[in-house]
Amino acid sequence: MGLFREKCDYCREKIDKGKEKFRDVKVPGFLGTKRKAFCSNEHADNYEKEVKEHCKSSQGGGCCG
């Protein structure tokens, strides 16, 4: 039953059970990291790059701790 499958936090596609790639990543607006599911290591790397760029370009506010 596909009702409780994880979604990739990068592309939002559903991931088959057991095929998830979990990684602790930084979430903008929060301190520390959070465990997120991705469909591939490439998407996990892309997510981390985008968060890094977001934190560099943000003007103050401390979104990236």
What are the residues facing 26 on neighbouring strands? 33
Site of tokens 């930084």: 26
* Domain limits for position 44: 2-57
63 assigned to some structural domain: no
Q: What is the pLDDT of residues 10-42, one digit of tens each?
A: 999 999 999 999 999 998 888 889 999 999 999
Q: Whole-prediction pTM value?
A: 0.76
> How far, in Å, CA of 54 to CA of 7, rounded?
22
- Whether the CB-CB separation of 54 and 25 falls below 8 Å is answered with no
Number of domains in the chain: 1
65 assigned to some structural domain: no
* Residue 29 Rama label (left phi>0; alpha psi -120 to 50; beta): left
Closest CA to 41 of 13, 8, 16, 64: 8
